[in-house]
Amino acid sequence: MPRLLDLDPAGYERHRLHSQQRDWAETNCYVDIWIELLHAMGHEPLAAMPFTLAIDFEDDQWTFFKPPLGDLFDLYGLDVQEMAVWRPLVEHIEEQLSHGKFVLVELDSWFLPDTEGSAYRMAHVKSTVAINDFDPAAQRMDYFHGQGYYRLEGEDYRGVFYLDEDDPSRLPPYVEIVKQRDAPPLGELPEISLQLLRRQLRLLPRRNPFERFRERFEQDLSHLMEGDLELFHAYSFATFRQFGACYELAAGYLEWLGEQGIDGFEDARRDLAAISSASKVYQFQLARAMSRRKPLDLSPIDAMGEHWTAAMDRISDRL
């Protein structure tokens, strides 16, 4: 019964980045599990957030932001490697955990009870989880996902690993393992993080991404106005939620730098927080416009772009 961290899903306390008082309590499945996994391991996940500054509009969606694996090694001594699935997945998970390695695996949210109300027993949606406690004999698994730490068992356990199905055409999921090596001294974390931020500034979009997004969004509106709620959710997740949640993390990161005594980022933090809150409001305006088939004011996107330019200029000047 491999178990790496002594945790109880019933009493787990999530990181403040998943506070319900935030604009976006969830970001995306991969970032969310790293926030909680690092937190549970005793690391500060906010130090890993420099990558949130360099996202871009990728022509039909915003960057699906993920922490660079090299950053996780530099900050915490965590070595993340892809794993080849050549035998039953449950056997891989049990063995890797028994050797002290966390397992990150894409699973079907249809069987993840923490997604009740959105995907659980409703929709087949792949989502990454991080497994900490695994008991094949009892058919039970405790895992990090979304905003916290959860348990599945019984029918959900059998379903998520397809134990009752024999389908040779089913492709194996993407799986990563996390090896723990020596981490730098805790006191060095802010400076290492600041160096990662300097590197991210070299990756900033050459053109304001909100200008490009506005052009594409204006083209997409006619199609969106003919769509349904399902289209709204898909489009919003790939656009407003992606950049909104990302820039809220970026604002939280700059606030954390201030808490570490590295000042000069407060104005940029406010700009990024303004993008986050505006994007949340605007996605609801889009939903109403789609339901009523009414025109939508595009000026809030221009305002977000102005905040983006101000924030990036201020951060670049500070560094």
How many residues make up the chain in this entry?
319
What contacts 110, CB < 8 A, 6 or more positions away? 119, 120, 121, 122, 123, 124, 125, 159
Is residue 318 within 8 Å of 286, Cβ to Cβ? no
pTM here is: 0.94
- For residue 20, what pLDDT is reported? 86
Strand bridging mode 102-108 / 175-180: antiparallel
- For residue 250, what pLDDT is reported? 98
Strand bridging mode 140-145 / 78-83: unpaired
Is residue 247 within 8 Å of 272, Cβ to Cβ? yes
- For residue 80, what pLDDT is reported? 98
- For residue 1, what pLDDT is reported? 67
- For residue 242, what pLDDT is reported? 97
For residue 74, give Cα distances in angstroms to 125, 127, 182, 190: 32, 26, 10, 12
Written in H, E and C, the secondary structure of 214-257 is: HHHHHHHHHHHCCCCHHHHHHHHHHCHHHHHHHHHHHHHHHHHH
CA distance 119 to 125: 7
CA distance 306 to 130: 38
Is residue 109 within 8 Å of 100, Cβ to Cβ? no
DSSP 127-142: EEEEEEEEETTTTEEE
What residue spans define the domains of the chain? 9-42+78-180, 186-318
CA distance 120 to 140: 17
What SS3 state is found at 80? strand
With a cut of 50, list the residues of the chain below it in pLDDT. Answer: none
Angle between helices 299-318 and 209-224 (to 10 degrees): 160
Is residue 53 within 8 Å of 312, Cβ to Cβ? yes
CA distance 170 to 41: 34
* Chain center to CA of 105: 14
Beta bridge partners of 136: none
pLDDT, tens only, 261-291: 999 999 999 999 999 999 999 999 999 999 9
Helices (H), the chain: 29-41, 69-76, 89-98, 155-160, 189-201, 209-224, 229-238, 240-259, 266-292, 299-318
What SS3 state is found at 189? helix
Residue burial 141-165, b: 16+ Cβ < 10 Å; e: rest? bbbbbbbbbbbbeeebbebbbeeee
